[in-house]
Structure 1
Amino acid sequence: MKVTRRQTMAGLMGAAASLSLPGRLSAQAGPILHASWGGGVGDTWTGAFAGPFEAETGTSVRIVEVPNPEAQFRAQAGNPQYHTGIGTFVQGVNLMRDDMLETFDIEEIPAMKNIPEEYWLKTEDGRLAGITPYFAYYGIAVNTDEASIEDFSSWKSLADEKWKGRLGMTRPIYLSTYDLTILSKAAGGDEKNTDGGMKLLEGMSRNVLNVSNSLAQQNTMLERGEVAAMPFYSVRVWSLNEAGVDHVKIVIPDEGALLLPYVVVAPKGVSDRERVAEWLNFIASPEPQERGMEISGYIPANSEAEATDEIRAKLGMTFQEVKDRLYQPDWGYIAAHQKETVAEIDQMLANL
């Protein structure tokens, strides 16, 4: 297993941050508190963002690992305990629509000017409701001991009957957001025209050995060859490869892969707003995003971020070449129709 010094330090710093948490969190004084998913995500935020920010500005940032930062923001509405938190773009859209986020003028966070507006979470009047730190993508993970990369050069391959009992699949909440969206694109539609995508999703579902309930289970299924392939996250495959698992590869099919932007948001009424804006601007800048790529494989959103020769070799392309092969849907539309889409998928699966 190849572990860089930066990864080792990130893990140690993440563990130390978790152990030093007070019994009751308060965002009214002291360090900036940033809510993060746990595990590798927390380590990435400590090593790539929080540690360097403190070294540069003298302001301490504590990474607090929680199961779901969005749920924490909702539970603490009106009395926020965190200054910022990470979320998916859909979660950010939902929080913004529910008027739960602090917004900022672009001049308060000028580093966002180097991030294409298609990756911005913004209000109707153009104010920033979230900062884009990086993105991953949703492609097809293949166990090359069980299948070849060429077998999955198209998303349509997942519906081929020859893979019956040999594929993995995630839960309907994610199928509605990710799988159906990219399958619809492959079928000639998009997130607003999903008839073809539903047919492909039904075909894929008939080939599934197991619907997994966790990323850990999906990792195990792929690593052990319990499944030959499944739609999966680029950063999860990156982590497997960094841990020495070379027989699991991520494929960007001919129709492209789904771009998954993440957002960092601040709860409405957050204290220390000026410090928070400085922290958010740092997150949007290229250098910490480059470090996040080295640690966890997240693609920088800032157009000024540069890939080292080593990173380009691992990706097989430049950052821009990756972006050119990804599909960015209308996440606002997906978020607005998520409940009905989940219900439709549940019904389809029940009828198989």
Structure 2
Amino acid sequence: MKRTVLLCTALVAPSWALAEGTVEVMSWGGAYSQSQVDAFNKPFEAETGIKVNMIDVDNPATPIKAQVQAGNVSADIASIGYSDATRLCDEGMLVEIDPADLLPASDGTPAADDFLEGGLSDCFVATDVYSTVIAYDESRFPENPPSTVADFFDTETYPGKRGMLKEPRFNMEFALMADGVPADEVYEVLSTPEGLERAFAKLDTIKGNAVFWEAGAQPPQLLADGEVVMTQAYNGRIFNAAVDEGKPFKIIWDGQIYEMEGWVIPIDGPNPENAMEYLKFSTSAESLARASMQISYGPPRKSSAPLVGNYKDTDIPMSPNLPTSPENMGNALAFDNDFWVDHMSELSERFAAWLAT
């Protein structure tokens, strides 16, 4: 039985001047947590006086569920993926969040109208948009570089090995888009027997050139080692390799498959009021724009886009490097969690059989 709790706060004016105490924030660690420290935590502490304690774990959804089940919740707010948020919300483990309690855009646009589709759900408020993309080593294609998802499957024009995730997700979607299916029709086609056959037939065309990977750190390494010339990859990994390490890697935004991460508030947390103040502060248009200047994940609010400046303290503009930039969204596909919840088991079996043949 669903046990969702509704946390109500009246949004007349931020009450930060009256706040005190702490807020326990659980996140993913590494560069991701650091971006939140710089974009959210430091300015939040300075403005409110509330101390932010950061807890880094491999996947916050797992300890959040364990803490709620044990009746011993130590985290006030946590960063998790949309699908985990949906599951935990359905299980009654999260506080329901009213979009009317979130800060509006600077022009007064309500948050509910400012967030991208999928950015808000019953218990979830998005903080960033990241993508699975196609990336390539531009030194291997100095003339006529690849520019579309179809080019990933064109080994005649662009010879060389391809890096592919060793599971059906993303592969099926990329295959159909490369075969001419518009992004907004991919899951409709993939839901049919004919669509599945079409996707696997397209995957057959590059199977002999595929190098399969399982961890996000592998694609840039495969490119750097020359084991592949093109690969599926997470956009942030490629950005970091190119900008921070000077690698000659480029992203093909055509056909990008984007997802969202965001905040959830577990029920019975120690500081629920401070958790809500932190959530409101960190999901303002200004805060989300600051985060996108720290790491190459796009802001999920439309009003954040014009506020995004350069990467950290460099002269590199971040906007062209974000999944949410208008020029990168032309043929973008929103990852459909519901489709994969329904079909992951059967398609994993079929994909494994395809790999074995």
Bucket of the pairwise TM-score, normalised by the shorter protein: 0.7 to 0.9
Contact 1:133 1:301 in 2 (8 A): yes
3-state secondary structure, aligned to 2:97? coil
Contact 1:92 1:121 in 2 (8 A): no
3-state secondary structure, aligned to 1:68? coil
Q: Between 315-324 and 78-87, report the one with greater CA deviation.
A: 315-324
Contact 2:298 2:324 in 1 (8 A): no
Q: 1:102 to 1:318 in 2, by over 3 A?
A: closer
Corresponding residue number in structure 2 for 1:69: 60
Contact 2:134 2:152 in 1 (8 A): no
Query: In structure 1, what is the Cα distance between the partners aligned to 2:160 and 2:334?
Result: 31
Matched, 1:240 2:241: yes
Identity of aligned residues (%): 21
Query: In structure 1, what is the Cα distance between the partners aligned to 2:259 and 2:291?
Result: 15
Query: In structure 2, what is the Cα distance between the partners aligned to 1:98 and 1:201?
Result: 37
Query: In structure 1, what is the Cα distance between the partners aligned to 2:78 and 2:137?
Result: 34
Query: In structure 2, what is the Cα distance between the partners aligned to 1:302 and 1:131?
Result: 10
Return the offset for 1:75.
2.2
Contact 2:134 2:252 in 1 (8 A): yes
The runs of 5 or more residues in structure 1 that have no matched partner are 1-28, 123-127
Corresponding residue number in structure 2 for 1:166: 161
Q: 1:318 to 1:156 in 2, by over 3 A?
A: closer
Query: In structure 1, what is the Cα distance between the partners aligned to 2:207 and 2:120?
Result: 33
Q: Deviations over 1:246-301 (max 9, x none)?
A: 40111113xx3212222221223334322212111122211221121111111111
3-state secondary structure, aligned to 1:44? helix
Matched, 1:258 2:249: no
Corresponding residue number in structure 1 for 2:123: 129
Corresponding residue number in structure 2 for 1:229: 230
Corresponding residue number in structure 2 for 1:36: 27
Return the offset for 1:337.
2.8
Q: 1:337 to 1:316 in 2, by over 3 A?
A: closer
Q: What is the one-letter code of the residue matched to 1:251?
A: I
Q: 1:270 to 1:149 in 2, by over 3 A?
A: farther
Q: What is the one-letter code of the residue matched to 1:181?
A: E
Contact 2:119 2:260 in 1 (8 A): no
Return the offset for 1:151.
4.9
Give the number of the structure whose residues are more often helix, by fraction.
Answer: 1
Q: 1:239 to 1:77 in 2, by over 3 A?
A: same
Return the offset for 1:105.
1.5
Contact 2:75 2:270 in 1 (8 A): no
Q: 1:205 to 1:276 in 2, by over 3 A?
A: farther
Q: Deviations over 1:119-148 (max 9, x none)?
A: 2342xxxxx311111212222110112235
Corresponding residue number in structure 2 for 1:24: none
Candidates 315, 322, 342, aligned match of 2:321 = 315
Q: What is the one-letter code of the residue matched to 2:242?
A: N
Query: In structure 1, what is the Cα distance between the partners aligned to 2:319 and 2:103?
Result: 31
Candidates 173, 176, 188, aligned match of 1:181 = 173
Q: Between 218-227 and 327-336, report the one with greater CA deviation.
A: 327-336
Query: In structure 2, what is the Cα distance between the partners aligned to 1:30 and 1:312?
Result: 35
Matched, 1:106 2:102: no
Q: 1:198 to 1:70 in 2, by over 3 A?
A: farther
Q: Give the aligned length.
A: 312
Q: Deviations over 1:10-38 (max 9, x none)?
A: xxxxxxxxxxxxxxxxxxx9632222112
Q: 1:247 to 1:33 in 2, by over 3 A?
A: same
Return the offset for 1:204.
3.7
Contact 1:185 1:191 in 2 (8 A): no
Scaled by the length of structure 1, the TM-score of the pair is 0.78
Contact 2:76 2:270 in 1 (8 A): yes
Contact 2:112 2:120 in 1 (8 A): no
Scaled by the length of structure 2, the TM-score of the pair is 0.77
Q: 1:85 to 1:171 in 2, by over 3 A?
A: farther
Return the offset for 1:312.
5.5
The runs of 5 or more residues in structure 2 that have no matched partner are 1-19, 105-110, 191-195, 311-315
Return the offset for 1:102.
1.6
Q: 1:54 to 1:287 in 2, by over 3 A?
A: same
Matched, 1:191 2:187: yes
